[in-house]
C-alpha cells in the first residue's frame, strides 16, 4: 500500500494543507515554513505501536494565531492519511482479506483506498485532550462496526511502517544495540545450535589465551577473588576479555571503515560527519531489505521520512546520493535545503512550502484540476465523449480535467448550467486554475531547464526573468548599485534564453505561486516571448505589470545601453578590442553603428561595462530607470 495523500488541519502552522504523495516526494522551502512539522505530523498519524488512549500531542502542536488563543479553544488537530491503489487490483489478496473492514472501493474507477484520520481536541466534559483514530469512507465519514474497533488500527499498522531520520543523524546511537535498525538486525540474527556451540568453544579458548598472555592478569583475578572472603557466594571469579556467547559478542560489534589508499580500519565514529550520515541512511536500506518483511508481512510497505540527506556532503556526493535514494525499496518523503538535491528529481515530485504570516501554504505542479459541479446529464455525456481529458464522478459530483480548458470547451460546458450561477462561478474558477496545466512535454523540458539553472530557483522568493547572460550580469550589478542585492531578498535571476522558454518558466512559477517579472528586448524575438507568456492565460492587467519589453519599439539591449548613457564606456571597449568605428560622434547613425559592433560581442560588452563602472566607483545614478524599476518591483513582490 502506498501513501498517496496527507491532509492536515491546525497542526502548528499547517492550518489547512492537502499534499499528494509520490513514491519519492521532496519538501522544499525556507526555514520555519513547516517541513519538519509535516514530518512530525506523519509520525503521530502513523505510529509504530497501535491503539493508545494517550494524546500524542503537546500544547504547542495546536495552531494558535492570536494571544488569546489556547489549545483548549482550538477547533482541534486533524491529520488524515490516505492510501490508494494506482491501478485496479494492485493490492495483493492478503491485504484485501486482512483489512477488508476498512478498505473502500470506488465503484466507478474500481480502485481501493484506506483513509485513517487522527483527531485531537479538548473535551470539556472529560476535562482533558482526547485523541481519536478512525477509518473513513470515501466521503471522509467515520466507519462504524468492526472498522471502529481499536484492534483494526494495530492490524493496519502492521502493513505500514513509518521510519523517521532527523537531520541530526547520530551514528553512535543509530548503530547501538538499542537502535531502531541496527539493534533489531543484531537481535534477529539466527545462528544454528551446532555453529553456536562451536563458536562458544572457540571464544572460550581465545579468552584463556588472552588471560595467559600477561601473568599480571592472573594476579588481578586472584585479588578480585578475595570478594568471596567478605561475601561468600560459593562462586568463582574470572576475567572475560570477550563475551562467551556469540549473540553477546554481536551486540558489541561495530562498523569499521578504511579510507581510500589507507591500511588501517577505523570505527565509523572516527570518520567524518558526512560518512556517518550516509551510513545511517544505508543502514535503513539494509533494514528494509533484510528484516522488514520477515518481521512483519510480505506486503508491508516502509515509508522513510528523511530530513536533509545532503547534510555534511559535497555537491557531487549530494547528486549521487539523490540518485541512490530513489533506489531505496521504500516510499520516501524527504525535506531538503540543497539545490543539488533538486537537480536530480522530477519537478512533479517537489512540494514547495511557503509561509504567509503564521500559516503555511504548499504548492506543487498539478496534473489535474477538480471542482464540485452539480450532476446533469449533459455534463456526464460530454465527459464520456472526452474521457481522455475529462472525468465526472457522479457520486461525489466532482468534475476533473487533465489539461487546460480552452474557450471552445468552456462554451460547450457552460450552457448545461445556464440558470445555475453557483455552478457557473465554479466552472469559471476551474477554467482559470486549469491554465496552470503543464503537459508531459512541458514537464520534460522544465526538468532539463531546472537542472541547467540549478535547483536554487526553487528556494527563491521570486524570479526575475531575462533573456540572456548579459542581462543576467547587468541586473545583478545594477541591483548591487541600488544597494539592494537580490540574494538578500531571495530573488533568483533566470536567463531563460540559455535555459529554455520564458513561457515554461512562467508556467512553473505560477504553479508554485512564485512572484515573477520578465524583462526582454522590444524586438521581434522579445515580442514573441511576450506573446508566448500571454497564451498561458495571463490577464491583461498581469501582462501590463509583469511583462516588461524595453520601452522603445525595435529596441534591443545594445541600442538601449548606448542610449542610456553608457556610450563612452562602450566605445572604450570597442577601441580596446581594435574595432574601427567608421562614423564620427555626432554623425547620423553613429550610435547605431556602435550598437551593431556590440552585438558581435554581447557578453563581453556586459562584463567589460561592469568592470569600467566598478573602477569608476559608479553609484546608483548610473542605473537606467527601466532596470531600476524592474528591480524595485520584483523586490516588492518578493517581500
Averaged pLDDT, 242-265? 63
Residue of 214 and 361 predicted with greater confidence: 361
Give per-residue pLDDT as tens, 460-505.
899 999 998 899 999 999 999 999 999 999 999 998 887 678 888 8
Averaged pLDDT, 437-458? 78
Going by C-beta distance under 8 Å and a sequence separation of 6 or more, which residues neighbour residue 60? 12
Residue of 501, 543, 534 lying closest to 435 (CA atoms) = 534
pLDDT at 417: 95
> Do 498 and 552 form a contact (C-beta atoms < 8 A)?
no
Long-range contacts for 187-194 (Cβ within 8 Å, ≥24 apart)? 187/251, 188/291, 188/294, 188/295, 189/247, 189/250, 191/246, 191/247
Confidence of residue 338 (pLDDT cuts 50, 70, 90): confident
Averaged pLDDT, 504-522? 92
pLDDT at 345: 83
Say which CATH class 3-171+291-362 falls into. alpha beta
Compute the distance between CA of residue 366 and CA of residue 38 in angstroms, rounded to an integer: 20
Confidence of residue 232 (pLDDT cuts 50, 70, 90): low
Cell of 479: 541591483
Residue of 542, 526, 601 lying closest to 570 (CA atoms) = 601
Task: Using DSSP, state whether 81 is helix, strand or coil.
Answer: strand
> Do 515 and 638 form a contact (C-beta atoms < 8 A)?
yes
Confidence of residue 365 (pLDDT cuts 50, 70, 90): very high
What percentage of the chain carries pLDDT values higher than 70?
84
HEC states along 110-159? CEEEEEEEEEEEEECCCCEEEEEEEEECCCCCECCHHHHCHHHHHHHHCC
Averaged pLDDT, 10-26? 95
Residue 255 reports pLDDT greater than 80: no
Cell of 54: 494517550
Residue 31 reports pLDDT greater than 90: no
| Domains of the chain by residue range | 3-171+291-362, 369-434, 440-638
Compute the distance between CA of residue 69 and CA of residue 71 in angstroms, rounded to an integer: 7
Give per-residue pLDDT as tens, 520-568.
999 999 999 999 999 888 889 999 999 999 988 878 999 999 999 999 9
pLDDT at 371: 95
pLDDT at 484: 95
Cα separations in angstroms, 122 against 36, 46, 74, 125, 136 = 24, 21, 8, 9, 22
In the chain, DSSP finds a helix count (H) and a strand count (E) of 26, 21
Residue 611 burial (CB count, 10 A): 13
Amino acid at each position: 500500500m502506498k501513501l498517496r495523500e496527507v491532509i492536515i488541519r491546525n497542526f502548528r502552522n499547517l492550518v489547512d494543507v492537502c499534499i499528494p504523495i509520490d513514491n519519492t516526494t521532496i519538501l522544499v522551502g525556507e526555514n520555519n515554513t513547516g517541513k519538519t512539522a509535516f514530518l512530525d505530523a506523519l509520525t503521530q498519524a502513523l505510529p509504530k505501536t497501535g491503539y493508545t488512549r494517550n494524546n500524542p500531542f503537546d500544547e504547542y502542536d495546536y495552531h494558535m494565531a492570536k494571544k488569546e488563543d489556547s489549545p483548549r479553544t482550538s477547533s482541534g488537530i486533524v491529520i488524515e492519511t490516505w492510501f490508494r491503489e494506482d491501478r485496479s487490483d494492485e493490492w495483493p489478496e492478503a491485504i484485501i482479506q486482512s483489512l477488508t473492514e476498512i478498505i473502500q472501493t470506488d465503484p466507478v474507477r474500481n480502485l481501493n483506498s484506506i483513509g485513517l484520520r487522527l483527531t485531537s481536541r479538548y473535551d470539556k466534559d472529560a476535562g482533558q485532550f482526547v485523541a481519536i483514530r478512525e477509518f473513513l469512507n470515501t466521503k471522509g465519514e467515520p466507519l462504524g462496526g468492526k472498522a471502529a474497533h481499536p484492534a483494526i488500527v494495530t492490524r493496519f499498522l502492521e502493513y505500514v511502517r513509518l521510519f523517521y531520520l532527523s537531520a541530526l543523524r547520530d551514528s553512535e546511537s543509530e548503530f547501538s544495540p538499542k537502535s531502531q535498525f541496527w539493534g533489531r538486525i543484531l537481535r534477529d540474527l539466527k545462528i544454528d545450535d551446532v555453529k553456536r556451540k562451536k563458536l562458544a568453544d572457540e571464544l572460550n579458548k581465545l579468552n584463556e589465551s588472552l588471560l595467559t598472555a600477561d601473568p599480571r592478569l592472573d594476579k588481578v583475578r586472584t585479588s578480585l577473588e578475595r570478594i568471596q572472603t567478605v561475601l561468600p557466594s560459593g562462586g568463582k571469579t574470572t576475567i572475560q576479555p570477550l563475551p562467551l556467547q556469540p549473540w553477546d559478542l554481536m551486540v558489541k560489534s561495530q562498523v569499521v571503515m578504511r579510507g581510500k589508499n589507507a591500511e588501517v580500519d577505523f570505527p565509523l565514529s572516527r570518520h567524518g560527519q558526512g560518512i556517518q550520515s550516509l551510513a545511517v541512511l544505508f543502514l535503513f536500506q539494509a533494514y528494509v531489505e533484510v528484516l522488514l518483511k520477515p518481521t512483519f508481512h510480505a506486503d508491508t510497505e516502509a515509508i522513510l521520512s528523511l530530513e536533509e540527506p545532503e547534510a555534511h556532503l559535497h555537491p557531487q556526493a549530494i547528486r549521487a546520493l539523490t540518485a541512490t535514494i530513489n533506489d531505496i525499496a521504500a516510499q520516501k518523503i524527504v525535506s531538503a535545503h540543497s539545490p543539488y538535491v533538486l537537480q536530480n528529481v522530477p519537478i512533479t515530485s517537489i512540494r514547495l512550502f511557503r509561509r504567509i504570516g503564521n500559516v503555511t501554504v504548499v504548492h506543487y505542479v498539478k496534473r489535474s484540476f477538480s471542482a464540485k459541479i452539480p450532476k446533469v446529464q449533459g455534463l456526464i455525456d460530454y465527459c464520456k465523449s472526452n474521457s481522455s481529458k475529462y472525468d465526472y464522478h457522479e457520486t461525489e459530483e466532482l468534475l476533473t480535467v487533465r489539461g487546460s480548458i480552452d474557450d471552445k470547451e468552456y462554451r460547450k460546458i457552460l450552457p448545461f448550467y445556464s440558470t445555475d450561477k453557483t455552478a457557473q462561478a465554479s466552472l469559471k474558477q476551474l477554467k482559470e486554475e486549469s491554465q496552470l496545466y503543464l503537459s508531459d512535454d512541458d514537464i520534460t523540458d522544465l526538468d532539463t531547464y531546472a537542472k541547467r539553472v540549478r535547483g536554487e530557483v526553487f528556494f527563491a522568493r521570486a524570479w526575475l526573468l531575462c533573456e540572456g547572460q548579459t542581462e543576467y550580469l547587468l541586473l545583478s550589478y545594477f541591483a548591487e548599485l541600488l544597494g539592494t542585492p537580490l540574494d538578500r531578498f531571495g530573488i533568483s535571476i533566470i536567463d531563460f534564453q540559455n535555459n529554455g522558454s520564458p513561457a515554461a518558466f512562467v508556467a512553473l512559477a505560477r504553479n508554485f505561486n512564485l512572484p515573477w517579472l520578465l524583462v526582454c528586448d522590444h524586438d521581434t524575438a522579445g515580442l514573441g516571448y511576450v506573446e508566448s507568456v500571454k497564451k498561458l492565460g495571463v490577464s491583461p492587467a498581469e501582462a501590463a505589470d509583469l511583462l516588461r519589453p524595453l520601452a522603445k519599439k525595435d529596441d534591443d539591449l545594445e541600442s538601449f545601453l548606448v542610449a542610456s548613457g553608457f556610450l563612452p564606456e562602450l566605445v572604450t571597449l570597442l577601441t580596446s578590442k581594435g574595432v574601427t568605428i567608421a562614423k564620427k560622434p555626432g554623425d547620423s547613425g553613429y550610435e547605431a553603428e556602435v550598437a551593431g559592433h556590440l552585438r558581435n560581442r554581447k557578453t563581453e560588452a556586459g562584463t567589460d561595462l561592469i568592470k569600467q563602472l566598478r573602477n569608476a566607483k559608479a553609484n546608483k545614478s548610473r542605473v537606467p530607470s527601466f532596470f531600476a524599476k524592474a528591480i524595485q518591483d520584483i523586490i516588492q513582490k518578493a517581500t
